[in-house]
Amino acid sequence: MTRLTVRDVGPWEDLLAACRDLRFEPHDIASHLDARGRYEVPLDEEFAFTITLFHYTSRHHTRGATWHERLELFVPLDGPTIFRMGEATVELGPGDLLVVDNLTLHHVVDFPAFDTRAIVISFRPEFVYSLGSPSYDYAFLLPFFARPDRSPRVLRLPGAPEACAALGRLVACRFGGADDPVRRAGCKAFLLQLLFELGRRFPVSERTHWEFLRQQQRSHRLKAVFDHVRDRFAERLTVADAAAMVGMRGPQFMKVFKKVAGMTLIAYVNHVRLANGSRMLRETGLTIAEIATTVGYSDQSYFDKRFKRAFGRTPKEFRTGVAGQNPPRN
């Protein structure tokens, strides 16, 4: 009888075999979220790239949406995964590579029996293309450029052997030895191979390239509003006040804000309030009523309703399900 090796069955099985010996950490990023719900990953200035290996389960899974300036690719390896980006819900199977809409609030959705490992590739755009790069290098970033219809970009890796092989080489290089210049050069080379394969499958026009740059500019222009919500999320903020902070008229502000955040200002403020509320439920012994008031809700029943809609559980159920936290006082 002939023994089947991983090389006999293709790049996808090769990748799974390589991942068997790697450690996938529980998805617990709460300590890395800032008050805006932004997930900060420290990246080396000269090597602004990382691969994170997460194990998502219903028990070990940081809920709530996040956003970030860095670019990101997400690949579940095992069971089904539901990914939310702005108003879009994407159902992923094992081996579906998702190009994350990084500037839009996004998160992995919990559901009963949720259990999968995932590879998350993160890097800053300048790791691939900067003002000093050849002009054609921006083509490596084409998969991340905004789409007019904001439709998600998903590549089925088992059916794309070149892309899958590039990912396998990238993972092997990242975790296969000491951190030295040769390994770093290899990581960049294999990342560019993967981005090249994605760019071939998701072509966009030059117009879309400029739309991507405009999206970046919009995000920077709204920074004052994001900072205000981060620091004073419990306070009432009207559209008129927010628009005045960035020198826009109300209708213009609402249009630009939704393009950047993927939701309205009110929905975003609620997101930040609930993200802070979930952190307080995990980390403090405050009553649910006290937490509701602290994050900006004068009516606890309204806080309960909004929280359940966002997290799938009431605040009491959420707190009870978090092991090792302070026991509730109500």
- Considering the chain, tell me which residue range(s) the CATH 1.10.10.60 domain(s) occupy: 222-330
Q: In the sheet where 25-26 sits, what is the strand order?
A: 25-26, 49-57, 115-123, 71-76, 96-99, 153-156
Place of tokens 């990382």: 50
Mean pLDDT of 11-25: 91
Rounded to whole angstroms, how far apart are CA atoms 48 and 61?
A: 25
In single-letter form, the type of residue at position 309 comes to R
CATH 2.60.120.280 domain span(s) along the chain:
6-205
29 compared with 141, residue with greater pLDDT: 141
Candidate CATH numbers 2.60.120.280, 1.10.620.20, 3.40.50.700, 2.60.260.20; the one for domain 6-205:
2.60.120.280
Asked if pLDDT for residue 149 goes beyond 90, the answer is: no
From 27-41, 134-148, 212-226, 264-278, the region with the lowest mean pLDDT:
27-41
pLDDT for 74-88, tens place per residue? 999 998 999 988 778
Q: Which CATH superfamily is domain 222-330 in?
A: Homeodomain-like (1.10.10.60)
Phi, psi dihedrals of residue 66, rounded to the nearest 5° = -140, 170
Give the pLDDT band (50/70/90) at residue 207.
low
Give pLDDT, residue 292.
95
